[in-house]
Amino acid sequence: MKSRERVLMALQHQEPDRVPFDLGGTVTSGIHRIAYKNLLDYLGIKKDEIRIAEIHQQLADVHEDVLQRLKVDFRPVFSKLPEGWKPEFKEDEEYIRFKDQWGIGWRMPKDGGLYFDLDTHPFAGFTTVDEVVNYRVPDPADRSRLRGVKEEAQRLADTTGAALCLAGVSAGFLEMAYWLRGYEQFFVDLVWDPKMANAILDKTVEIKMRYWEMALKELGDIIDIVVEADDFASQFGLIISPETYRKFIKPRQQELFATIKKNSNAYICFHSCGAVYELIPDLIEVGIDALNPVQVSAANMDTKKLKKEFGDVLTFWGGGVDTQNVLNHGTPQQVRDEVKRRIDDLAPGGGFIFTPVHNVQPDVPPENYMAMWETWEEYGKYR
């Protein structure tokens, strides 16, 4: 069975020959450059260069022969930066810094830095809605973003047989609001200045709407999965109340996801970390097809319970192994036991795509990664 057929069966809640396996299909199911280098060394694979697929999280662009060896069923498709724009990296004594295309500042420590962290917020000092409305960003519908993308997507489809996942142009629209305004100030806006909060959310949703309308008109007949995201929860509960979500976020999600469905037949994989259990019925209602990363260590995110309550309509894209305590700090046997448990919980009836919870972090031993993979390979077969 080819990868694309296997993935589509799983998304349609049917049992293919085996549970599909993801590594790097999305920017929340990838592997950090350090963990990837360690894995290559462990497997005896020599590479002259490790390219970065996603700069903020420092994710590796996994080589095609490695994807083939690990039987990965997905390939990512990324748009380009608009023609004539590129980030300028600057260094001082402590940090490497840059501003992204939206004007958000990022920094990574020069000595041992693992990720680029938020640094500056362009809307931090804004006091009026007009300042938000008049803030200029590169055109999300600039067609130069798709230069060569359709041809590359077709090549991947023809040569790998994999399911293709199209990445968005920005982080989630709520997440973008945090980043543009600053977390604390945006939370204050939601309560004390809803006009400002709505203006910022309108801005960040517009970026996405314009991009998806343009991208899917070009790529909608090739792409199998559209990847969207927004982090609504922490380890122990929601970041915003259900009432706030339903007032400010849910109507915009409905509009955004309806636009995606209108312009393609793609499934929507939606990423939200943490304890999102309380919002899962809402997420199903607004049109998501798959939930990632299924953070099994967060409150109320037990895989058996999730499968029982939502498994008939929702695909679980993740949850294959706990990455906070087991994949990084456990023994290989503990990893194997965890993987078997999650497959038992999530695989029956389809609707499960195996990948760890979020990205593989730098401290994951390659022995543990391969213990996970070998257990999936042995135990993830339907027949």
Range 242-256 average pLDDT: 98
pLDDT (0 to 100) of residue 344: 98
pLDDT at 172: 97
The pLDDT of residue 113 is 96
Asked whether the predicted pLDDT for residue 336 surpasses 90, the reply is yes
Counting every residue written for the chain, the total comes to 383
Does domain 3-84+123-379 fall into CATH 3.20.20.210?
A: yes
> What residues contact 36, with CB distance under 8 A and at least 6 apart?
50, 60, 62, 360
pLDDT for the residue 182: 98
The 8-class DSSP code of residue 361 comes to: P
Average pLDDT over residues 149-171: 97
Q: How many CB atoms lie within 10 A of CB 320?
A: 33
Task: Judge whether residue 383 has pLDDT over 90.
Answer: no
CA-closest candidate to residue 57, choices 285, 312, 271: 271
Query: CA 230, CA 19: separation in Å to the nearest integer?
Result: 26
In this model, does residue 124 exceed pLDDT 90?
yes
User: If pLDDT is split at 50, 70 and 90, which confidence band does 231 have?
Assistant: very high
Supply the mean pLDDT for the chain. Answer: 97
86 pLDDT exceeds 80?
yes
Q: Could you state, in order of their start, the residue ranges of all structural domains in the chain? A: 3-84+123-379
pLDDT higher than threshold 90 for residue 312: yes
DSSP state string for 240-263: S-HHHIIIIIHHHHHHHHHHHHHT
